[in-house]
Amino acid sequence: MARVIVSTGRGGVGKSTFVVLASRYLKPPKLLIDLDPDESLADMLGIDLSQEGKKNISSALYDIIQENKGAGRTGYDLLSDVLQSAIQGDCLYRSPEFDLITLGTKFTVGCYCAPDAVLKDSIPTLVEDYEEVIVDSPAGLEHFNRKVVVDIDDLFVILDPSEKSIKHIKRVTDITRELKVSYKHLYLIGNHRFTEETEEYLRSAREAYLGKIDYDPDIRQYNLEGKPLLELPEDSPASLSVRRILVEAGYRIRDRNPT
C-alpha cells in the first residue's frame, strides 16, 4: 500500500521545491502527482513532458471527447474505460527513478470537475504500483474542495513567516475536517524566510513542527536558468533541510548521488 504524501500551503512558499527535494530521498517505485495547473513540477524535475510524448489529464480528456463525438460516445461515464487506459499510456511518464502525472489546466471555463474526476477514479489503481505517492498542490485550499486525493498519510503544510500562514494552519484543519479529507499526520514546515525568532510561532503550534528549510541561493539560480532541482549538489542547504525533516517525520532515507 503506497504512502500518500501531500505538500500544501499558500502561494510561493516552496511546496513544489519540497516535493522535488523530498523525492530525492525516497526509494522508487514512487509516483509524483502535479495538481497545479501551472505544471511547473515537470520543469523543476528536468522533464519535458511533451517531448516525452505525454499529455496532462485535461488534454487527454479533451482529445478523447473530441475523438469520440463522431461515434456518438460522449460523457465521462461512457468514456471511463478509454480514459483509464489513456491515463496509463498517454499521461503517465515513467522512469526508473520516479513516475509523474500532471492534471493540467482547466478543462472548461470555471471547472476542473471532469479531469479531477478522471484522476480521482484512477488514483486507487494507479497508486497500487508505488511505495510512495507525492502530491504537489496548487496554492491555497481550493484543491481540498476538489477532493482528488482524500486519503492522505502525511500532509506537509509549508509556511512563510506571516500571520496569514499561521491562520492558514487552522484553515487546513477546518477544511479537511469539513470535507472529510483524512490524513494520518499533519506536519508543519517553515520555509526559507523563517528566522530563529519567527520559528517560535510554529514551535508553539498544536501540530507537529518539523523544522525549517534553509535558504539556498542555488535554488533561485537553478530556477532562473531552468536547471532541474534534482541536480542540486548533495550538500545543498535546502536539500539537507528536507532530508532532516523527513528523518524527523520517521521516513527511511535513501541517500544517493543524484547526478
In the complex, which residues of this chain contact ligand ATP (CB under 6 A)? 9, 11-17, 36, 38, 139, 192, 213, 215-216, 219-220, 223, 238
Report the nearest approach of ligand ATP to the CB of residue 219 (Å).
4
Q: Binding segment for Mg ion among 11-19, 69-77, 195-203, 211-219 (CB under 5 A)?
A: 11-19
Nearer to ligand ATP, 80 or 195 (CB): 195
Q: Are 246 and 22 in contact (CB under 8 A)?
A: yes
Query: What order of strands is seen across the sheet that includes strand 99-102?
Result: 99-102, 30-34, 132-136, 3-9, 151-159, 182-190, 208-212
Nearer to ligand ATP, 107 or 156 (CB): 156
| Helical spans, DSSP H, in the chain | 15-25, 40-45, 57-69, 80-86, 113-126, 142-146, 163-179, 196-203, 217-225, 237-248
Q: Which entry of Mg ion, ligand ATP, none binds 220, CB below 5 to 8 A by partner kind?
A: ligand ATP
x-or-dash string of contact with Mg ion, 15-34, rule CB under 5 A = xx------------------
Nearer to Mg ion, 124 or 226 (CB): 226
Report the nearest approach of ligand ATP to the CB of residue 245 (Å).
12
Nearer to ligand ATP, 13 or 49 (CB): 13
- How far is the CA of 218 from the CAs of 24, 161, 214, 234, 255, in angstroms? 16, 21, 11, 12, 20
216, 219, 220, 225: CA torsion to nearest 10? 150
Binding residues vs Mg ion (CB under 5 A): 15-16
